[in-house]
Structure 1
């Protein structure tokens, strides 16, 4: 169809093009995932064969090295037949024999991620947990290493978390909110000293917002710092305000440089009520409040939250650990995050 030299597209063309693009993208991703699964299956087969020969015939390191050299000569276009990689294949075969479900997980991860799980972790249940998290959140290898080094599993699974979520939220949202919560939060990337005041920590967190978002976890979007609220003619300012995309709610964060005090809960409860009335959309879930303090007494915090009307939690934060230098190369810039937030707002 033409009109004055221009091709007129039939009705529905744009929808068809969009659909076909999605199918091509899906097919390409499926091909990549299938190729990766085949590679992992090959490495597992090699690892199992090495284990069998070692146990049955006492094959040692020199024989295994010779096997790798011969395979490299036979298949010069295929990487991965180094003695070091053979050791990882053997370890992976042993791990998957002991914990078969791990085979399904590593089949969905790049080989480098699997090596990290083998090298950095000793317990198979932790390897399984981090592997599943890496798949769900699309972590790069360097991000996976950071999460392991900062003991994310212990902070999200094993920590005693203080909140009133179960009493103040529906069961599904309560479980999700509790899963999102960490204790403690590790702000390794800050340049402030251990005795920094709240405003210093706040300024540094906003300055390093990409790393802060990484530590908060998947789903957090930054709204602002010192967010102004006017209630009954008086001005109030929230330290940090976020929106959580999965929980579909605002998250108010108050920073405290010292130990937790019961009166902090009342102030945070007030802020959550104000956000619910002034900012919350009718489709949003109830606002959640989080107090981040340098130290908390669990029983004191539990008592303070028990009769509060809003869903609140208390966690510690620490400033003293270190994060690998390659963090910067694996995260988006502040400008990129701001553009994403702006696009979402549009």
Structure 2
């Protein structure tokens, strides 16, 4: 007699599911433990006349007593995080079971309430690991989306209160591609950048925006004897449309825009189904002139997006400087038009 493979697989699935639930349950209990510790510390320090001094004394004294017996999980830094955790989330019911303590450590350090709400909503919606969340915070995702959207719109899409209707609501400018491992000082060809993106496709789809899936690389289209090759073809299930990505390793030119427009037109006329939305084209470039982009494209353009990319994680100060620069460009273009 032979054991049925289907029976074995069913049992293995049950075991795996149970273990996952047990791990999540234990981690949630740990989160609640830290929340309750933070609550006790916070409420006790409110009784001190000099709260700041008493709070420091309280945490150091508790750590001195707890750490020798219970380990580094009760260091002064950890107890400070517990207190801050309670202050950020004073209602116990607001502490969600789907977030680990490592997730909450990242949420705690975000002071701006709306910014914190955005990252919590995106983490829940996309099921980000703690490492993915940390990377999105470090790459200033919230700030990059605000370059072309207002806060209420960004939060509404993140919380699934509305579906995105415009590509700019989910596609960032600039894009941060530090995970490709390409040095910004080195010379490289478009094929090198494309190959690196394919190698790190999961990270690229996470960076480019929500709801993207890979369709093809170097998609060949034949037009009366001439062959053209599209760098990347994606599909966005939220916008229900094809997304053409062209990669440029230099400053964007109007010829690049014309080439991408041709690809977009081709997909709209020969690939798109009637129920699908118009195709979107994205040009990844090292730099761009927004005035050239606006003049080259139709006034009501919603199909072509030019996005700069960086091969390194920007600091918050660098991002703020970029925002100011982009706003100045927008004002200048407005004057020209």
Alignment pair present for 1:87 and 2:87: no
* 2:38 corresponds to: 47
Number of residues of Structure 1 aligned to a counterpart in Structure 2: 295
1:316, distance to aligned residue in structure 2 (A)? 0.7
Q: Distance in 1 between matches of 2:186 and 2:291?
A: 25
1:151, distance to aligned residue in structure 2 (A)? 1.0
Q: Distance in 1 between matches of 2:277 and 2:22?
A: 39
Q: Say whether the 8 Å CA contact 2:173–2:307 is kept in structure 1.
A: yes
Three-state SS of the structure 2 residue aligned to 1:196 is coil
Three-state SS of the structure 1 residue aligned to 2:46 is helix
Q: Say whether the 8 Å CA contact 2:177–2:312 is kept in structure 1.
A: yes
**TM-score for the superposition, normalised by structure 2:** 0.71
Q: Say whether the 8 Å CA contact 2:279–2:303 is kept in structure 1.
A: yes
Q: Distance in 1 between matches of 2:121 and 2:302?
A: 32
Structure 1 residues 239-248 or 203-212, which shifts more?
203-212
1:105–1:134 CA distance, 2 compared to 1 (3 A)? farther
Q: Say whether the 8 Å CA contact 1:106–1:114 is kept in structure 2.
A: no
* 2:169 corresponds to: 179
Q: Distance in 1 between matches of 2:194 and 2:14?
A: 44
Alignment pair present for 1:141 and 2:130: yes
Q: Distance in 2 between matches of 1:173 and 1:312?
A: 20
1:205, distance to aligned residue in structure 2 (A)? 2.0
Alignment of 1:101-250 (within 5 A): 104=94, 108-119=98-109, 121-156=110-145, 158-160=146-148, 175=165, 177-188=167-178, 189-191=181-183, 193=185, 195-250=187-242
Q: Distance in 2 between matches of 1:29 and 1:281?
A: 40
Q: Distance in 2 between matches of 1:226 and 1:315?
A: 20
Structure 1 residues 144-153 or 200-209, which shifts more?
200-209
Q: Distance in 1 between matches of 2:140 and 2:133?
A: 11
1:64, distance to aligned residue in structure 2 (A)? 3.4
The alignment yields a C-alpha RMSD, in angstroms, of 3.8
Q: Distance in 1 between matches of 2:176 and 2:120?
A: 21
Alignment of 1:5-20 (within 5 A): none
1:126, distance to aligned residue in structure 2 (A)? 2.0
Structure 1 residues 234-243 or 259-268, which shifts more?
259-268
Q: Say whether the 8 Å CA contact 2:217–2:230 is kept in structure 1.
A: yes
Q: Say whether the 8 Å CA contact 1:192–1:200 is kept in structure 2.
A: no
1:124–1:116 CA distance, 2 compared to 1 (3 A)? same
**TM-score for the superposition, normalised by structure 1:** 0.69
1:213, distance to aligned residue in structure 2 (A)? 2.3
* 1:166 corresponds to: none
